[in-house]
Amino acid sequence: MTSALTWNRYGKSSIRLVKVRRAADPHDIIDLTIDVALEGAFDRVYTDGDNSGCLATDTMKNTVYAFAKVEPLDHVESFAVKLAEHFSEKPGVSLVRIDVDEHPWTRLHPHAFARTGEEVRTTLVTYKDDTPSVVSGLRGLVVLKTTDSAFSGFPRDQFTTLRDTRDRILATSITAAWTYADGFEDFAQRTAVRAAIVETFAAHKSESVQQTLYAMGEAALTSCSGVVDVQLSLPNRHHLLVDLSPFGLDNPNEIFVATDQPYGLIEARISRK
């Protein structure tokens, strides 16, 4: 044969990890996306289909979650070094890369956080029959609460497998749009409406996304008498608890996978009577 393997690297990319530190009060969260990659003497995997030396990338992922439970994660750098040391001891490995993106959150409340920087402020004017209608709003305000969110008591049919929970992470990207009464012009009220929406998200004892949405809408109406209705759209960005029991570890609502797909989507309009 006239060809040769002259370089190789493999691993698991985009491992999404959210850790909630509940021992502390207020809670802390760490939100990471991690790539693990190994270089080394893996030639027979490529040339002979011999997997006996090929650590599965699924195992790399599991290792990251198990280490996240045990390590303090005070500095991402130290956590990455620990992971790298672990993988460097595997047979054949000559180089380990641990590549981490940390997504920073700003505290809103002892148990709630925001990624405010992705937020866009929206304005929609429609003009018809010589009259403008003004809708102000926001989009992309990502918020998360580490507790005070439940979902239970829902109906069960032949396709239901979800279990009741009394304590889960609730995360969403808020889209809100509120309509001002005709002739209203105190557009600086945007700030008060936004604050009411965000503070209600943070403080609400949630039985469902729907109930929290409704409370957010009511708070928006209360915050500004010039608002006649508010429409909210809340995608439920599911955070799934990782099962660490195969590794002899418990997971009391600490280690989660943040997922993009699928997502619940809850939308409603709340109007002043």
The residues in 102-131 that bind its own copies, with binding defined as CB under 8 A, are 102-104, 115-128, 130
The residue from 61, 145, 238, 239 that is catalytic is 238
Complex with its own copies: residue 119 or 199, whichever CB lies closer? 119
In the complex, least distance from residue 147 CB atom to its own copies, rounded to whole angstroms: 16
Binding region for its own copies (CB under 8 A) out of 10-18, 20-28, 167-175, 194-202: 10-18
The residue from 57, 59, 116, 222 that is catalytic is 57
Task: Scan residues 223-252 and list those touching its own copies (CB under 8 A).
Answer: 229, 231, 235-236, 246-247
User: What ranges in 109-234 are assigned the alpha helix state H?
Assistant: 190-203, 209-223
157 near its own copies (CB under 8 A): yes
> Closest by alpha carbon to 225, among 196, 261, 267?
196
DSSP annotation of 106: E
Binding region for its own copies (CB under 8 A) out of 19-27, 167-175, 194-202, 215-223: 215-223
Answer yes or no: 86 catalytic. Answer: no
Q: How far apart are CA 140 and CA 172, in angstroms?
A: 9
Answer yes or no: 109 catalytic. Answer: no
Binding region for its own copies (CB under 8 A) out of 18-26, 146-154, 166-174, 194-202: 146-154
- Residue indicated by tokens 């509940």: 22
Task: Scan residues 250-269 and list those touching its own copies (CB under 8 A).
Answer: 259-269
Q: How far apart are CA 212 and CA 114, in angstroms?
A: 16
Q: How far apart are CA 122 and CA 126, in angstroms?
A: 13
Cβ distance 9 to 37 under 8 Å? yes
CA distances from 146 to 25, 162, 168, 189 (A): 12, 20, 7, 29
Task: Scan residues 41-70 and list those touching its own copies (CB under 8 A).
Answer: 42, 45-59, 61-63, 66
Binding region for its own copies (CB under 8 A) out of 20-28, 168-176, 181-189, 194-202: 181-189
The residue from 12, 27, 145, 204 that is catalytic is 12
What is the total count of residues that contact its own copies (CB under 8 A)?
127
- 115: which 2 tokens? 């990624």
When computed from its CA atoms, the radius of gyration of the chain, rounded to whole angstroms, is 24
In the complex, least distance from residue 60 CB atom to its own copies, rounded to whole angstroms: 8
- Residue indicated by tokens 């609460």: 145
DSSP annotation of 199: H
Answer yes or no: 57 catalytic. Answer: yes
Complex with its own copies: residue 25 or 156, whichever CB lies closer? 156
What's at 18, amino acid-wise?
A: V
Task: Scan residues 66-105 and list those touching its own copies (CB under 8 A).
Answer: 66, 75-78, 80-81, 83-85, 87-88, 91, 94-104
In the complex, least distance from residue 179 CB atom to its own copies, rounded to whole angstroms: 11
Determine the length of the chain: 273
Q: How far apart are CA 229 and CA 184, in angstroms?
A: 13
- Residue indicated by tokens 């990455």: 80
Catalytic center residues? 12, 57, 238
